[in-house]
Amino acid sequence: MRARVSRWGNSLAIRLPQAALSSLHIHEGEQVELVLRDDRLEIRAARPRYRLQDLVDQITPENQPDPLDVAPVGEELL
């Protein structure tokens, strides 16, 4: 897939083909992540990235759901 570099005001811009946008599920106005690797430029959708430990650290007694008092059924009694 190729694209042409064009002037956009005082900057240079690359128009992304619709096929690339569809493949990455990127829509107008969304942010992207630019990664430089050696002589390559990678464009990625800027999606939030979560680490399990960061999410677990946010658990407090105030934001935990109430426990369920339901009798176990099935094989979970093992």
Q: Convert the pLDDT of each residue in 34-58 to its tens digit.
A: 999 999 999 888 878 889 999 999 9
Does the pTM exceed 0.85?
A: no
- Residue 60 half-sphere exposure toward CB, CA atoms < 13 A: 3
Between CA 3 and CA 10 the distance in angstroms is: 19
**Residue 9, phi-psi category: left (phi > 0), alpha (psi -120 to 50), beta (remainder):** left
**Among residues of the chain, what percentage have pLDDT more than 70?**
96
User: How confident is the model over 60-73, as pLDDT tens digits?
Assistant: 989 988 888 887 77
